[in-house]
Amino acid sequence: MTEKWDAIIVGSGAGGGTAAHVLTRRGKRVLVLERGPAKTAEDFLPYDELHFWAHKSLIPHKTNDPMIYVDGKGNRNKSERWWEANMVGGSTMIWDANFPRYTDEDFAVTQYVKDLPNSDAMVDWPWTYEEFVPYFKKAERDWCVSGDNQDSTEMESLRNGTIDREYDYPMPPLRLHSSTTFLKDIFRKAGMRPYVGARAINSQTFDSRPACSFCGYNQLFGCAVNSRANSGNTVLRKALSTGLCDLRTGHYVTRLLFDTGNNGKPGKIRGVRYVTNPGSDEKTFEAPLVFVSVQTIQSARLFLYSEIPDPPKLIGRFLTYHPKGDLHLTFKGMPVWDAGPQFQPRTAIGSLQLRGLYTYEDGGMRRKGGKFSVYDPYTCIPPLHLVQGASLSESKKNVWGRELVDYLSELRSQGGVSFSFTGEAISRLDNRVEIEDSDGVKDPWGIPVARTFYQHDKNDQEVSTYALKRVADIMTAAGGEVRKFEPQGKENPGYGHVHGALRAGTDPGKSVLDANCQSHTVKGLYVLDAAFMPTAGASNPSITLIANAYRVCETV
Amino acid sequence: MWEYKAPKDRFFTDEEKQQVQAIFEAILPGGDKNPGAKDVGAADYLDRLLAMDDSEYYEIADWKPLYRAGLAMLNAASQTKFKKALYQLSADQMTALLTDLKAGNLDGFPSPAWQRDRFFPILRQHCVEGSFSDPRWGGNRDGLMWSWYGYPNGPSKDFTRTPKRS
């Protein structure tokens, strides 16, 4: 392999893998640098919730590789980055593979937050949903998405007159969960139309990989069957097969190398500095293009450590997490959801998507809310995780003793439902990523770690509470009893839906990246993870991040 | 592939083991219709886990001294409150003692926060792990808890307590 590349890609996950595929398809030679090792499906066997989840064997350890979170009182905490997997594929190796597209309401959010206090940092994206549609379709094709694109008028692609009846996902949807019809009926009566969600999970043999076997080890676990898509088994595999992609594992990019511009002109990327084992010498790889995609917070950290020129002082700023919310209910008289082999079994993965509150009416204004992924706690959450969080009501959490027995007895004998909320966030200047000082906390390679500051705006918390309450009311009117009601609190030490911190925009005085996700101040330097997102949006960010990577890499 | 390597040793003394059994049984009590922590050997799980080194999980090293000290403190509190050894408390007495621990109300501990936010949650966590983890780890004996719960396959098997227990 010749040591001369057209592009270096930092990170082999959602953005990096997509970049490798698109660029090699265009005949470019690329070098992909991945800090972690390569894993195969067998590495996620035997099925064991204790080892893989409770003992955190797939994620960085906060003892020696943390993120620092500075809370509202100024206390420093070592935060666990449970959504980051240091291996080829990155977080795509442990995701739930929910693939809803961002839509108009995400691309143009300011109309929904007008007059809200503290909303002056909210901006519209410099692109439209329509511009992204061809890239969503490429992502859905290459990442092997299953779903029913005609299932409901609430679906992303079937609203606002943009009905595309010619298009469907590559695969039909996964086997339904036994609760699906029951839940759809309840919501239909309430005027909402939840639908079977698009998942990057095979519903049949496709692209040489098997259908999901419903082992129940989905989110936070590696897929031992290879039926769930990740960067390695989709786009990166295709890139490697061209012979134009050089993937090097155990290569940790510490710094971006660039020439600074003079006379106010932007600088130019030259390459990267990297190390292999902790303690090894720093070396250089050079290329005229560098694509950074190591997850929002780590990309911002890399920019900070590299001292990328930042005249408006916005690197790391406008970090966003989606406000979340957790609602569990049980239905007396409904059997446990195990209706037979035509449905998902007791080790299920859901999920319906509920988008009826993506926007909602409030005092004459149309406001931005969010969406729900709909599961069943008993069949969709493995036992250790579920039982640790055993909750009988909003105030009776983490129960034990007789109450724990009551909780378990109920779970095993009647059907339930759980709702996981993802909401729009108010971007704030002070929600940010910094980097530890030279005498601060370092990772095992001696590089200062990221330090985050994050307080959810009051609106985030109120929207989460409102949305949870609306759904709880619908469910209780239909006979459900609330067992868990946990809206978003103020503090956020870290969450998997993480975006912003390297805001893209057309004005170099108000953004870090331009509308092609290229650094305003260092030409040839691009960012392809969710750090580019000008605002948080209100859906799982993965496919929008991936679609953006297609968009950028096809024309670079 | 990852491989579970059963430790040769055990961590607890005989009395500590009985203490943990009694604590765990109060956290997940067996009833006429459900198996409890004692039925499924949840304490056996912890006895093996703490004999492993922290290459399996980095918190194991911290848990070893925590249990040595914490069990001794809880035993002392049991003597103070009930004039009985920890492992000899009745179910109701243990529940009362653990309720105090959870509230941070006991004397002889580093602080209320240590009781509330460190020791009690770890006891509960390990009881749940010992009852619901894969039987390879030494708890959830014969998959009995899973079988009653209905995991990974159904139907959930009803549990009847045999009248005589050894």
Q: Over the stretch A19-48, which tens digit does the pLDDT of each residue have? A: 999 999 999 999 999 999 999 999 999 999
Q: Answer whether residue A156 shows pLDDT above 90.
A: no
- Give me the mean pLDDT over the B155-166 stretch: 84
Q: Could you say which residues from 30 to 59 on chain A have a Cβ atom under 8 Å away from some Cβ of chain B?
A: 42-43, 45-52, 54-57
Q: Answer whether residue A376 shows pLDDT above 70.
A: yes
Give the confidence band of A222 by pLDDT, cuts at 50, 70, 90.
very high
Q: Could you say which residues from 41 to 60 on chain B have a Cβ atom under 8 Å away from some Cβ of chain A?
A: 56-58
The lowest-confidence range among B56-60, B96-100, B162-166 is B162-166
pLDDT in tens, B87-135: 999 999 999 999 999 999 999 999 999 999 999 999 999 999 999 999 9
Quote the Cα angle for A548-A500-A356, to 5°.
75
pLDDT of A89 reads 98
Q: Chain A residue with minimal CA distance to B150?
A: A412
For a pLDDT cut of 70, what percent of chain A falls above it? 98
Q: Chain A residue with minimal CA distance to B126?
A: A388
Separation in Å, CA of A40 to nearest CA in chain B: 9
Write the residue in A51, A61, A216 that is nearest to B58 by C-beta: A61
Q: Chain B residue with minimal CA distance to A404?
A: B28
For a pLDDT cut of 90, what percent of chain B falls above it? 95
Helix (H, G, I), strand (E, B) or coil at A33: strand
Q: Could you say which residues from 2 to 31 on chain B have a Cβ atom under 8 Å away from some Cβ of chain A?
A: 2, 4, 26-29, 31
pLDDT of A262 reads 87
pLDDT of B162 reads 83
pLDDT in tens, A437-454: 999 999 999 999 999 999
Q: Could you say which residues from 371 to 400 on chain A have a Cβ atom under 8 Å away from some Cβ of chain B?
A: 383-384, 387-388, 398, 400
Q: Chain A residue with minimal CA distance to B146?
A: A383
pLDDT of A259 reads 97
Amino acid at site A376: D
Q: Answer whether residue A157 shows pLDDT above 70.
A: no
Contact assessment for residue A139 and residue A19, using Cβ atoms and an 8 Å cutoff: no
Q: Answer whether residue A161 shows pLDDT above 80.
A: no
Q: Predicted ipTM?
A: 0.98
Q: Answer whether residue A491 shows pLDDT above 70.
A: yes
Tokens describing residue B77: 């509190």
Q: Do A387 and B132 touch (CB under 8 A)?
A: yes
A351 upstream amide cis, omega within 30 of 0: yes
- Mean residue pLDDT across chain A: 96
Write the residue in B121, B129, B153 that is nearest to A50 by C-beta: B129
Q: Do B128 and A384 touch (CB under 8 A)?
A: yes
pLDDT of A1 reads 47
pLDDT of A152 reads 78
| CA–CA separation, A251 and A295 (whole Å) | 16
Strand A252-259, strand A267-275: pairing: antiparallel
Q: Do B134 and A55 touch (CB under 8 A)?
A: no
| CA–CA separation, B166 and B67 (whole Å) | 27
pTM of the model: 0.97
Q: Answer whether residue A86 shows pLDDT above 70.
A: yes
Q: Do A46 and B28 touch (CB under 8 A)?
A: no
pLDDT of A519 reads 98
**Beta-bridge partners for A196:** A352
A346 and chain B in contact, CB less than 8 A: yes
- Give me the mean pLDDT over the A490-496 stretch: 97
- Give me the mean pLDDT over the A396-402 stretch: 97
Q: Chain B residue with minimal CA distance to A414?
A: B156
Separation in Å, CA of B160 to nearest CA in chain A: 14
Phi, psi of B23 (to 5 degrees): -65, -50
* Residue from A432, A531, A418 nearest A482 by CA: A418
Write the residue in B34, B36, B132 that is nearest to A384 by C-beta: B132
Q: Which residues of B touch A383 (CB under 8 A)?
A: 132, 146, 149, 151
pLDDT in tens, A471-482: 999 999 999 999
| CA–CA separation, A264 and A166 (whole Å) | 50
A278 C-beta neighbours (distance < 10 Å), count = 11
